[in-house]
Amino acid sequence: MCPTEPSSGAASAEPTAQGAPDVSDAPAPIVTGEPVEVFDGVFVIPDRRVELVPNVGIVVGEKAALVIDTGIGPRNGAYVLEQARRLAGRRHLYLTVTHFHPEHGFGAQAFKGAATILYNRGQRDELHRKGSAYLDMFKGLGPHIAAELDGVDLVDPDVTYDDRAEIDLGGRTAVLRTVGPAHTASDQIVLVDDRVLFGGDLFETRIFPITPYFPPYDADVDGGRWITVLDQLAALDPEIVVPGHGEVTDVSVIRDVRDYFVHVRDEAARLRAAGASVDEAAAAIDKDARVRWNTWERPEWIGFAARTFYEAAATG
């Protein structure tokens, strides 16, 4: 779930996620359960398809371990740190997050002083620019979510990188790569030994892609670039793919999300050229996509994707 926040320089206004999925009746967003080994030395604490709970990664090498995403708020961060220490023992810990959104990185304060925190430069800048407004917005999504965000401190990384960073964990290598703008302005993927890919919210399993297009407050999502990124990631042909939300799977999930976006892009351009308004195009695309991808959850995001591509069609 990715509510909104004013982009840099926008006039002060109350961010709104109107039309996005209502999570007020969802279970509390708590990371629970033990890490599951999905590949040699690569563990995932599954999200259990609970709203605002991400899949959390822990990659353990001979001399160090890397944690990927923290969950939302200090309690989840502390739990993830506990699980990482249990697996890593005395090994050095690193923490990174796939993007700055609260359910992925707002538990980072638990790791301050306990791990080397590593973000790409764009993530750090987005956190500075948008973090406080996202914190306020998420608190407004429901009291059970606000409770997890109580006492959150927004934590700067210890180390930043630009395009690519490589972490030698000892017999296992994690490559961090900046691939945004797509879902956010600064998405990051983590590729472990060229075989296990953590993609954050660039793709989900059987969930319509979260497309946070909320102009004028946040319009950093880039649908066209997102398709390009998905093509690049599919070409890596990883054996194991860990989505931001939903079950761990294989490269087919990347191709499925890519095909969905191509369909929405092409339909939005066709309908715009035929004279349809943005509302008419979004409604038509929504109706069709619910039938084509009828096993996917959270169809509320279809309209946001349609509007993203409709507006992009105006500039070719």
Using the predicted structure, report yes or no on whether residue 213 has a pLDDT greater than 90.
no
- In angstroms, rounded to a whole number, what is the distance separating the alpha carbons of residues 292 and 284? 13
pLDDT in tens, 96-109: 999 999 999 999 99
Give the whole-angstrom CA distance, residue 136 versus residue 141.
9
- Mean pLDDT, rounded, for 276-299: 98
Report helix, strand or coil for 120.
strand
Say if CB 3 and CB 213 are below 8 A apart: no
Q: Which segments of 198-301 does DSSP mark as H helices, in order?
A: 223-236, 252-273, 278-292
The structure's pTM equals: 0.93
Rounded mean pLDDT, 168-179: 98
36-250, which class in CATH? alpha beta
Q: What is the pLDDT, as a whole number, of residue 212? A: 87
Give the DSSP letter of residue 205.
S
Quick check: 6 pLDDT over 60?
no
Q: Which amino acid is at 31?
A: V
C-alpha torsion sign, points 234, 238, 241, 244: negative
**Using 50, 70 and 90 to split pLDDT, how confident is the model at 316?**
low
The domains of the chain are located at: 36-250
Is 52's pLDDT higher than 60? yes
> Which residues, including other chains, have CB under 8 Å from residue 7's CB and lie 6 or more apart?
129, 130, 216, 217, 218, 219, 220
Beta bridge partners of 64: 92
Q: Kindly report, residue by residue over 221-280, the tens digit of the pLDDT.
A: 999 999 999 999 999 999 999 999 999 999 999 999 999 999 999 999 999 999 999 999
pLDDT, mean of residues 195-213: 96
Give tens-digit pLDDT for 58-98: 999 999 999 999 999 999 999 999 999 999 999 999 999 99
Render pLDDT for 10-23 as a digit per residue (tens, 0 to 9): 323 444 566 778 88
CA distance 261 to 302: 10
